[in-house]
Structure 1
């Protein structure tokens, strides 16, 4: 039996009507298998309860570290970097089971590790990335502020002041995933000396750094988002990311991870779709499963269309990233389109279930609620639309 035959014997992923998964090679499929096994054993059984209680399942960290999915894009341990298609597909697989865990994964593996990889010196990479790959250190990423979301590039209020061999950070960050328990948080702050944004690695026990959990969320409830307060928080100069010298460097990290949100949006759509298909086959009304009825099949077809279009865009994003020609407007369009379609798909899944669609044990409502966060973070739909519009017209419509 050839490797290709082995791939074709795997169960086809629901929602991948055009068979994009066949683009993965046999070695990559080994990792997909391992990831699905990890998710089935450790994540799926606790996803509903953790979401309901707004608690993070810390017991998944150790088994997750052993799957081999952390640090793949960075070529650590002398291994060649994983392809962008595999990296994106792993985000899809996690998100189709639990978008909250996919967000945890994306923040640690993408935003935090990615900041150190792209903006840190070789010494800084060697200092932190291996332990982060083993998940002995968990990372967070502090960019958004209480009064600065979409305009944080120009309106950042968190400041950094050089003081001898140290930097003194003051300000506040908001909606920072993982930050309540992260060992390292990448804090972006404006240097008072040159008015440029720089990045700093702040360890959790640093005096002047306080992270407080945001309560009463109704989306991605398992993610432990925090408000961060920085009060004369002093970090050594070797904690300043050596190659982060302006917001352009921050944007390099965001461009990559915005592509990752596209994959998470596809995974979340597939999770909602799978729940809807299962329900349509088992729910009986008027003497037959509702999947027999035209209106139900129409909803399922619409959902599959959204998934197929979004997945095709995600695959092309991976190819552009792999070739090193991925542009801001492409990242923006992919994020905007896939998350907009996600809202539709998740809403249709909930609608298909009628009253049962609001029950957490039916899964659809969890994807429905989580879609709202994916739609908003890493650039709102409107801001991403303006990035695309600027590329079309050559004119900026930003205020």
Structure 2
């Protein structure tokens, strides 16, 4: 979307004012709570009106925008707690005149809502439409597929495929490293620092676009033609948590985690799972997540479980039957066996036979909810 300079500047100014008012309102609520008191959004809105008399910067934003910001803070504090809330980084698109945008594709349905986002100097608008297309019925005769997410290879399938792609070129990595060094020598708030960060964002925007495209294409290969797709239930937040610890209780293997955490985040495990679930909604497949414990040390032929089965990161040799295969493929083969264990056939009235999951994390348009 191409927004003229006035509209872009107005939106940026509105967002800055909303962020300042929201963070100030949150800190005020925390101060009241520490004293055992409470303050609501109505009282804070009156305080903002009084602040407009003393200060000039709140006058630039309409009153209803700031009032809605305080209501959002009030809702977040009531839902999650006063001391667990965070400042808002997103902003609603407020009226600032007509803007023009380029249609990249036809909508194909009735528009339900529109979302405007900003990435650097570019603005984008996405529409949520209702196309009325229902997911097809899932047949028991369709295949099942499992997936294993890794650090070296983003995804491995149970039929032996390895889905991988480089997101950043060597030249881009070297240039980004030089920009990081240049950024460390700049002064905070300077024009040089702002220009350096803008160049860094251009490189990372290309990396994000390639990663998103890879996840969409890989999800299509993973889901299409299958009735059941099983992934590992990974606690990515805990896996990427820092291991530094404190002075009293120092962490262990800090250096290894320092290199492992960026590698996990670079592959985009959570984004890949979201892409698989979104594709499954279109094809009518079912996505399940299972416990990943011992999936890479369990023989897919005999079911023998032993830590010595995995000789290295990529090599698997069963100590009982001698079956040898890639370790990621073995992990991908064990996931559909666990995911299919809780399935049962069900036949709705006057409908063909379908499958429904019984796990705590079902995902499928055709799965019964009760």
Q: Please give the TM-score of this superposition, normalised by the length of structure 2.
A: 0.25
Q: Please give the TM-score of this superposition, normalised by the length of structure 1.
A: 0.23
Q: Which structure is higher in helix share?
A: 1
Larger Cα-atom Rg: 2
